[in-house]
A and B are shown apart, each in its own frame.
Chain A
Amino acid sequence: MAKPKLATTSLAGCFGCHMAILDIDDRILKLVELIDFDKSPVDDIKEFTGPVDIGLIEGGCCNEENVKVLQDFRKHCKVLISIGDCAINGGIPAMRNNIPLKECLEEAYLNGPTVHNPSNQIPNDDELPLILNRVYPASEIVKIDYHLPGCPPPADTLWEALVALLTDKPVALPYELVKYD
């Protein structure tokens, strides 16, 4: 029987949650026995090869591309999980959410104290994904089945949740594995 498939992505995140996946240490060998990685930065597969059992989403949506990737994950994944505070509530990138986008861009590219930008331009190339008015938590774009909070979530949290799902058990995390920091 083919192994279940796992896909992961980092949207508006810092890749810290992916580091937390690696932080399961030698259990990663057991994980590879339990699942096959599909689209993920872990194996560098860029496109889905087909339907996937579990998708892990790191980060919220700060631009158009994030939204497309997230919708693509929802389409391909039977179970979709937000991992980390950025996917759940926008996290650090969402600190811009009560500042108008124009002000954010001007501070970053024109007015900031450390800015060196002789052409005095704000990047606006067609190749760049269109930035959104604010950062959206993943659950405001698509349906999310489980949330694993933390910044990043403890490796044990990710491990326990994945093993529960892969062995058809309810995801019931002990008190100490649900933390927001």
Chain B
Amino acid sequence: MSDTFTLTIDGKEIQAKPGQTILQAAEDAGVYIPRLCAMKDLVPHGSCRVCTVMVNGRPQAACTQPAAAGMIVESETESVQAVRRDIVDMLFVEGNHFCMFCEKSGNCELQGMAYRFGITAPRFPFLFPDRDVDASHPDIFIDRNRCILCGRCVRASRDLDGKHVFEFVGRGHEKCVAVNAEARLADTDIDGNDKALDVCPVGALLRKRVGFSTPVGKRLYDHKPIGSDIEHAGQE
């Protein structure tokens, strides 16, 4: 189909196809819009709001908002970046993110986002919530201290694995990812090969006995900011 249309992101005209979200259209054009809950092959969730952009002057989640002809999108403006930074700051203080001993450190998208934004310290007081760890499964564990409630595991288990191992329970600060069993992850039908294990942006859902396999200096975000691959592809 040649019925592409044009929209503008930060003054740059880009082409979009019908059915694409702003985030997808931007990505195809080599423009990276930061995101944590959105992921390729998963239905958009629109929950983390890190992909917030101004569309014709109103804030929208780029991962859920369909692209439309003539849209004026602002992404890398000072005010939008301030909103994103605040969200990332809040994600850090709302959980217990001990990067210094986390297996995901260096490959963590939350940490990568903070690095990209140049955050040296969150500007909000830390909450130090009481969260639990479920290490009952022989090959997999959940550390809810690190969970940012992006819902990627919920969607991946449901839509890619066809299993419904995870679901959200609770509201507000009590919201957490629960497992589809009486209490323990070990009693679900999750398997070490499930796609749900590859989607966690942080170190909340991990395979056991494979941590720290990549040395410092060779990890995803050691040298280049998160999103560099998309921006690099756009320059070619």
Contacts and interface: CB of A to CB of B under 8 A. Distances in A.
Interface in A89-125: 89-92, 94-95, 97-98
A179 B100 contact: no
B121 A82 contact: yes
Q: Which 8 A-B pairs have the closest CB atoms?
A: A151-B100, A180-B99, A147-B121, A97-B128, A98-B130, A147-B120, A181-B105, A88-B121
Interface of A: 82, 85, 88-92, 94-95, 97-98, 134, 137, 139-140, 144, 146-149, 151, 173, 175-176, 178-181
11 contacts: A85-B99, A90-B128, A94-B128, A95-B98, A98-B131, A147-B121, A151-B100, A175-B115, A175-B223, A179-B222, A180-B114
Contacts of A89: 92, 97, 121-122, 126
B128 A134 contact: yes
A137 B105 CA distance: 21
Interface residues of B, number: 29
Contacts of B201: none
Contact of A140 (B92, B102, B125): B125
B66 interface: no
B120 A176 contact: no
B216 interface: yes
B120 A151 contact: no
Nearest to B219: A181
A88 B111 CA distance: 15
A170 to B, nearest CB: 13
B93 to A, nearest CB: 8
- Among A144, A148, A178, A180, the most chain B Cβ lie within 10 Å of the Cβ of A180
A134 B90 CA distance: 20
Contact of A181 (B131, B216, B225): B216
A157 to B, nearest CB: 10
A171 B52 CA distance: 29
Given A98-B128, A137-B126, A149-B120, 11 more contacts: A88-B120, A89-B126, A90-B128, A92-B100, A92-B101, A95-B96, A97-B128, A98-B96, A98-B131, A175-B223, A180-B99
Contacts of B59: none
Nearest to B125: A140
B151 interface: no
A113 B212 CA distance: 28
Interface string B70-102: 000000000000000000000010001111111
A85 B12 CA distance: 39
Contacts of A98: 96, 128-131
A149 to B, nearest CB: 6
Contacts of A139: 121
A180 B128 contact: no
